[in-house]
Amino acid sequence: MSLETLGWGPDLDLALSNAVSPSSSSLVPGRVVRQQRGLLTVQTAGAAFLARAAGRLLHQAQGAEALPTVGDWVLLQPPASGDGEALMHAVLPRRSLLKRREAGSEHDGQLIAANVDVVFLVMGLDGNFNPRRIERALTLAWNSGATPVVLLSKADLAEDAAERVLEVEALAPGVDVLAVSARTGLGVEDVRARLPPGRTGVLLGSSGVGKSTLANRLLDAARLVTQPVGPEDKGRHTTTHRELFVLEHGGLVIDGPGMRELGLWGDEAEGLATAFADLLALATGCRFSDCGHQNEPGCAVRAAVEDGTLSEERRASFEKLQREQAFQHRQTDAAAQRAHKRVERARSNQGWALTRSKRRGE
């Protein structure tokens, strides 16, 4: 398999020339194509190897974000024997990185995929549909540096698929929204068209929304195990690993386990600003530049909610994600932590002074 088949391009030629030194001339480039319970498989031009990070790479990594994940291009030392483990010595610069906060944790992150061009946000129309979850997923996708596309799956089971498409288009201006059905083939060619040769996509969604079924349809083969959705439209975790597949026409797609939680991780602000561009455009009309869109006088966002231009649910969703992002920023930025403590201390002092004043008045 050639590196070009895996998505290698001119930008990586330059990265490779900068990364390879005389002491590392024996290293070969490859792409991480599979991850399961910490085990990585790297495909090179000559062969596929089970691989692990070399000690120096682990030592120099500034957190989990610096370690390889599915979709990464790495430099590795092939094993001396054909059945041994390869050692990954470097991760080549990424053009995108999709990540989330680890489920059940406030501090730890999880890498989902690297070097993807398009993030397919898959949501089922069989009871899984949730506009607020779409907003959250869009924020993650825009933060990654890739382009999001919303796929409303199982469209053959919904009588209102066309209305749902319009609803999502309204909350995701400029984002392609497709109704698809892996069973009937509806929209599958539209998905395939967004993955021309060398372009990589990743399927992101909850368990049971049909990601693996769609991947099988794109592959024209039953490569991935699927199961029917359980009672009350609850998906089952059938896929237990992440894997990159090369499609027959040359596009690439990454499938992985379903995710019930899509917590924000990191301090990137671009994703939230892009996902809620309509709300931020309204905010430019607020009387105060630091308006919190609560009860401040002259709030253009609140005015839009009152006249029906903006839904209260969308405003509340933005506020929730903004708080979550600010919290994550404080976890990674010492200056932000100190500033937050100063604000909280000032609020506490103001509250104490107000209470003392009231008592004196009594």
CATH code for the domain in which residue 339 is found: 1.10.40.50
Residue 234 included in any domain:
no
Q: Smallest Cα–Cα separation from 255: which of 185, 182, 169?
A: 182
Answer yes or no: is 13 a known binding residue: no
Which residues in 37-106 belong to E strands, given as ranges? 39-44, 48-53, 73-77, 86-91, 97-101
Answer yes or no: is 212 a known binding residue: yes
Answer yes or no: is 304 a known binding residue: no
Mean pLDDT of 70-92: 91
Q: Are residues 325 and 348 located together in one domain of the fold? A: yes
Answer yes or no: is 291 a known binding residue: yes
Which of 75, 91, 107 is at the close of a domain? 91
Q: Are residues 219 and 102 located together in one domain of the fold? A: yes
Answer yes or no: is 155 a known binding residue: yes
Which residue is listed with tokens 């497709």? 178
Answer yes or no: is 71 a known binding residue: no
pLDDT at 235: 47
Q: Smallest Cα–Cα separation from 193: which of 184, 203, 201, 183?
A: 201
pLDDT in tens, 156-180: 999 999 999 999 999 998 899 999 9
SS3 at position 9: coil
Give the number of domains in the chain: 3
Answer yes or no: is 209 a known binding residue: yes
Query: Model's pTM, two decimal places?
Result: 0.82
What integer best gives the mean pLDDT of the chain? 85
The CATH number for 44's domain is 2.40.50.140
Q: Are residues 198 and 251 located together in one domain of the fold? A: yes
Residue 109: both structure tokens together: 């992150």
Q: Is the pLDDT of residue 332 over 80?
A: no
Residue 233 included in any domain:
no
Residue 232 included in any domain:
no
Answer yes or no: is 156 a known binding residue: yes
Answer yes or no: is 205 a known binding residue: yes
Q: Are residues 183 and 153 located together in one domain of the fold? A: yes
Answer yes or no: is 109 a known binding residue: no
Q: Are residues 209 and 308 located together in one domain of the fold? A: no
Answer yes or no: is 207 a known binding residue: yes
Residue 230 included in any domain:
no
Mean pLDDT of 16-26: 75
Domain encompassing residue 26: 4-91
Answer yes or no: is 153 a known binding residue: yes
Answer yes or no: is 91 a known binding residue: no
